[in-house]
């Protein structure tokens, strides 16, 4: 999932010194009789985050909204700590029955659930929603759901997608049976991800744009203007079935406004004019935040990273030596500083962030190291080696355009990276784009993006979110804004290893196979990993019961306003 852009500075050490690392896990309590129930939660962001279509949007800014508006058969509970990463039933009344060694999964739909327009949720809606993933070109259609029987035909001809033989339903028993072409040990986690939410069968098979589909969560959008904001109010048909899976919510409404600059948003949240801001906190405000507003700041780690995907299908990065050169030349310490310092970032040389595979910190792309002889950690760039690789590749002097988000942090990092590209032999220029459109622009191969600056964090706790989702052949869709494999890599070796993982049940064997995938991706160098990241959240003094998870970030249904 696209990571939230976050900048900080030296003052972050004040924040960390205050002990604001998040809160211990709390039980999920109902809100019906709470004295804190009611009021409007006021949010602000520089811009919108694109389409409101929950099966297409892949940004953290709107995934936070999807979490309180829609449900899938399974979900990740709104619980803090490790419990929040464990899949639980949502619209399914229990965890699915696993048959045929994991090739068949049987769900039973809860009875009595209604969409926000009052219509009952049926098994026909579930089947239609799974087909719609392919018909609208969801970014994860191939990588997450491509194992469903009939998905290959859907990927080749989305308009005629039927998932014939892949999805069976029985209205009388409310059963949904999903057949896979091969076992997939992570299939429940993928069904729990936000793109697999259940929508009415009548939902059009195209990008909904600024129109919100009816959902089953506690809130619904009642008005939305792309350049101004949106308002969410309670779903009158929502009745809490599981307080952990989908809590009723404390606030009565959520007002989300766009247009304030990052500087003005910080001031507004400090003063209580807004309750929360999306995205980065300006570097020049961290001293003020750390010194005067520590009670309103929360810092928590992410399974996340920042990286530079490079297009392996067009010059100069169609030559592996050019890609290796960028990896060697990258000053990851500088990127750590520009993100906010060692308190919330660390140099990263692999496309899997710490905590998911053994060997955290290991680096092939530092002075004196290579993929065959990695160093224990990154120490410094190797500019001489980078320049030599550019020379040997025959790409010296070529034009390179770097796409970055038009944020303070994005442009600061971009200016450094442009200079780095020039230093190793390219004629480089910087092209900032609105943060709302940068990702979709970089994904579309028709735009011929050579290299871009991206943030990414896990959709669920697995290395697959990084080395499979971002580099899987099925994640590359030429000419589409929903082609999350921005490098365009399609490697048979990676595909074969991932296929073995999906058939494997032994966690130790699985981990070793993921390590081999990670090594293969490192050797192919389709991207330059830069830093692993944590997140700094700022809320108003009105916000109580601050609640965040690694997957949903601040959970809008769990906080209250005073």
The DSSP result for 39-104, as a single string, is SEEEEEESS--S---TTT--BHHHHHHHHHH---SEE--S-SGGGGGS-EESSBSSPPEEEGGGTE
**Which pLDDT score, from 0 to 100, does residue 6 have?**
40
233 with 219: CB under 8 angstroms?
Answer: yes
The average pLDDT across 189-216 equals 96
- Cite the residue boundaries of each domain of the chain with CATH code 3.10.105.10: 304-533
Name the helix (H) or strand (E) containing 545: none
Q: What are phi and psi of 191, to 5 degrees?
A: -65, -25
Domain 58-192 has CATH 3.40.190.10: yes
Write out pLDDT tens, residues 535-561. 888 999 999 999 888 777 899 999 999
Model confidence at 482, pLDDT cuts 50, 70, 90, reads confident
Write out pLDDT tens, residues 489-543. 999 999 999 989 888 878 899 999 999 999 999 999 999 999 998 888 899 999 9
Q: Which class does domain 304-533 fall in?
A: alpha beta
**507-524 vs 492-502: helix crossing angle, rounded to 10:** 170
Write out pLDDT tens, residues 428-478. 999 999 887 898 899 999 999 999 999 998 888 889 989 998 999 988 989
**Which pLDDT score, from 0 to 100, does residue 499 have?**
87
In the chain, pLDDT over 90 holds for what percent of residues? 72
Q: What CA–CA distance (Å, rounded) separates 561 from 36?
A: 7
Q: Where does residue 448 rank: exposed (0-12), middle (13-18), buried (19+ CB within 10 A)?
A: exposed
Q: What would the two tokens of residue 499 be? A: 């296929």
Write out pLDDT tens, residues 23-69. 333 444 567 778 999 999 999 998 888 899 999 998 888 889 999 99
N-terminal to C-terminal alpha carbon distance within the chain:
32
464 with 510: CB under 8 angstroms?
Answer: no
Residue 110 has pLDDT above 50, yes or no: yes
Tokens 């760039």 belong to 381
- Cite the residue boundaries of each domain of the chain with CATH code 3.40.190.10: 58-192, 219-297+537-561
Return the minimum-mean-pLDDT range out of 149-153, 292-296, 426-430, 484-488. 292-296
Domain 219-297+537-561 has CATH 3.40.190.10: yes
Model confidence at 281, pLDDT cuts 50, 70, 90, reads confident
**320-329 vs 383-393: helix crossing angle, rounded to 10:** 160
**Which pLDDT score, from 0 to 100, does residue 2 have?**
58
The average pLDDT across 150-154 equals 96
Q: Work out whether the CA dihedral 149, 152, 155, 156 comes out positive or negative.
A: negative
């Amino acid at each position: 999932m696209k990571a939230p852009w976050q900048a900080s500075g030296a003052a972050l050490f004040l924040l960390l010194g205050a002990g604001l690392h998040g809160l211990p896990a709390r039980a999920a309590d109902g809100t019906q009789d709470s004295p804190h129930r009611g009021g409007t939660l006021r949010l602000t962001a520089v811009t919108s985050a694109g389409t409101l279509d929950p099966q297409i949007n892949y940004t953290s800014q709107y995934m936070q909204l999807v979490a309180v508006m829609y449900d899938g058969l399974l979900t990740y509970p709104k619980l803090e700590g490790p419990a929040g990463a464990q899949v639980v039933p949502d619209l399914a009344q229990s965890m699915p029955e696993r048959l045929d060694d994991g090739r068949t999964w049987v769900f039973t739909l809860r009875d009595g659930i209604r969409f926000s327009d009052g219509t009952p949720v049926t098994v026909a809606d579930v089947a239609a929603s799974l087909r719609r993933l392919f018909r609208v070109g969801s970014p994860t259609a191939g990588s997450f759901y491509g194992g469903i029987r009939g998905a290959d035909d859907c990927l080749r001809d989305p308009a005629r997608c039927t998932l014939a033989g892949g999805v069976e339903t029985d209205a009388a028993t409310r059963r949904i049976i999903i057949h896979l072409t091969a076992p997939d040990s992570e299939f429940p986690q993928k069904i729990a991800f936000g793109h697999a939410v259940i929508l009415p069968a009548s939902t059009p098979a195209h990008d909904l744009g600024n129109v919100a589909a009816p959902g089953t969560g506690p809130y619904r959008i009642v008005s939305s203007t792309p350049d101004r904001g949106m308002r969410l109010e309670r779903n009158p048909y929502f009745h809490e079935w599981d307080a952990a899976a989908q809590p009723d919510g404390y606030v009565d409404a959520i007002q989300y406004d766009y247009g304030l600059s990052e500087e003005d948003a910080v001031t507004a949240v400090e003063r209580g004019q807004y309750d929360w801001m999306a995205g980065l906190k300006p570097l020049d405000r961290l001293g003020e935040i750390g010194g005067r507003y520590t009670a309103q700041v929360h810092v928590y780690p992410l399974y996340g990273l920042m990286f530079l995907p490079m297009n392996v299908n067009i010059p100069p990065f169609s030559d592996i030596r050019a890609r290796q050169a960028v990896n060697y030349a990258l000053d990851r310490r500088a990127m750590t500083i520009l993100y906010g310092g060692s308190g919330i970032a660390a140099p990263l040389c692999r496309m899997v962030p710490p905590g998911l595979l053994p060997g955290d910190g290991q680096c092939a792309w530092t002075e004196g190291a290579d993929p065959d002889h990695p160093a224990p950690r990154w120490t410094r760039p190797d500019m001489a080696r980078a320049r030599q690789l550019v020379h040997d590749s025959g790409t010296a002097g070529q034009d390179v355009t770097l796409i970055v988000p038009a944020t303070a942090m994005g442009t600061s990092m971009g200016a450094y990276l442009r200079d780095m590209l020039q230093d190793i032999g390219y004629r480089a220029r910087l092209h900032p784009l609105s943060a709302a459109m940068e990702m979709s622009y970089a994904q579309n191969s028709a735009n011929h993006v050579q290299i871009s600056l991206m943030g990414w964090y896990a959709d669920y706790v697995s290395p697959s979110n990084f080395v499979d989702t971002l580099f899987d052949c099925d994640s590359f869709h030429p000419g589409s804004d929903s082609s999350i494999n921005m490098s365009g890599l399609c490697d048979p070796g990676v595909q074969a290893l991932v296929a073995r993982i999906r058939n494997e049940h032994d966690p130790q064997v699985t981990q070793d196979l993921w390590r081999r995938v990670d090594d293969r991706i490192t050797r192919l160098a389709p991207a330059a990993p830069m830093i692993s990241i944590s997140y700094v959240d700022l809320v108003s003094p009105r916000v109580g019961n601050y609640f965040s998870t690694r997957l949903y970030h601040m959970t809008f249904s769990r906080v209250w306003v005073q």
